Structure 1
């Protein structure tokens, strides 16, 4: 079943290659969407694909790259739109 999720990751997640980590794992899982840093220090992710793959990505997001420290992961499930061709990092 295809799904879409908006995810906000809080903690020490900027300046630690968190977006690159997210992109690498999302692509490995066949997901599409994007990730970006937010001004308040959080990282935002919009991803679409197989719901099980999104749930697998969420597990990885809790781990994060070695220098990160994840305090919270907020997930908001949305209607699947099929609007992305790849998984990118927004700057």
Structure 2
């Protein structure tokens, strides 16, 4: 019986990532890649997200997060945790 591999990561994105459409861009990009998870602004000025899905799609999302939307200036994408499983779908959460 074959199992489909799922990769789940929690990331923090640093740089000029708030007020530049980053959360909406992340939601759209994650949905296009068929990922589950969430994204939210943090009070410290970073963006936090969870991505879960096929490992190659998660890796693609991480690479795209390093660029972000046109007005963003990303200085760092840090994987802070691996594992777990978010609820199905992708959503934008309130600032934390």
- Report the TM-score, using the length of structure 1 for normalisation: 0.93
Does the CA contact (< 8 Å) of 1:3 and 1:77 recur in 2?
no
Matched pairs, number: 90
Measured in 2, the distance between the counterparts of 1:52 and 1:44 equals: 20
SS at 1:55's partner residue? helix
More strand per residue: 1 or 2?
Answer: 1
Structure 2 residue 55 is the aligned partner of structure 1 residue 47: no
Find out whether 1:89 has 2:92 as its counterpart.
Answer: yes
* Cα offset, 1:70, TM superposition: 0.2
Q: Report how far residue 77 of structure 1 moved.
A: 4.5
Matched, 1:13 2:8: no
Alignment TM-score, normalising by the size of structure 2: 0.88
Runs of at least 5 residues in structure 2 that lack an aligned partner in the other structure = none
| RMSD between aligned residues | 1.1
Runs of at least 4 residues of structure 1 off by over 4 A?
none
Higher-Rg structure is: 2
